[in-house]
Amino acid sequence: MPEQQFVDHTLQTAPAESRRAMEATTKRLGYLPAPVARLASSPQLLEGFLKVSGLFEATSLDALSREVLIMTMATRNGCHVCVAMHSARLAALGASPDLITALRQQQPLTDARLEALRVFTLEVVAAAGAVGDGPLETFLAHGYTSRNALEVVLGIGAYTLSTLANRMTGAPLDDQLQAFAWDPSAA
């Protein structure tokens, strides 16, 4: 299996260029996530993901909307690690269990605004960005802006990067996230 080719780095075994990012992540979360330990093999990929995800966190999209986008990408791409991590984040934000379940099961959301974001995200991916006026107008009609539409592209980029890398490396789910474990085949 390809994931057997990827090392679970520690601060001592990681390339020197990855260590600062690993230390910062460990300090922020209180542990070194397995995906970070594996992505550390490529300092550029690790640094790139952390930077682009940080930029996405700084967008004008509210925190709940950002998490809906992330979960949409994580379930679409079948990344069990991202689904667990962002299910935990949604719970910490006070999101309803029904919202979290719907996202995990790739089902329509009862909140029309968040559903417009979920659908728009999927349409941007399916159309490789060429969504046309109809989907964009529907998105905008739910209170989002043209700036938000471009921020959706940023979020898609960030979480395409992480979901594909996590799947390639076979990153395992950390013990801290076991309560939020997700089986892609159940979605």
* Whether the predicted pLDDT of 3 surpasses 60: no
Q: What is the pLDDT of residues 35-78, one digit of tens each?
A: 999 999 999 999 999 999 999 999 999 999 999 999 999 999 99
166 lies in a domain?
yes
- Identify whether 75 is part of a domain: yes
Structure tokens at 167: 């799947």
Residue 62 domain-assigned (yes or no):
yes
Q: Are 17 and 183 in contact (CB under 8 A)?
A: no
When divided into structural domains, the chain yields a total of 1
Q: What H or E segment, with its residue span, contains residue 68? A: helix 63-76
What are the tens digits of pLDDT across the range 64-122? 999 999 999 999 999 999 999 999 999 999 999 999 999 999 999 999 999 999 999 99
pLDDT at 45: 97
Which range marks the domain in which residue 181 is found? 49-186
Q: What angle, 0 to 180 degrees and rounded to 10, lies between the N-to-C axes of helices 112-126 and 63-76?
A: 40
pLDDT given at position 184 = 84
Task: Indicate whether 5 belongs to any domain.
Answer: no
User: In the block, which residue shows the tokens 């995800």?
Assistant: 53
Structure tokens of 87?
Answer: 């299910």
The whole-chain average pLDDT of the chain stands at 95
Q: Is pLDDT at 2 greater than 80 in this prediction?
A: no
129, part of any domain: yes
Read off the CATH number of the domain in which 98 is found.
Answer: 1.20.1290.10
Residue 8 belongs to a domain: no
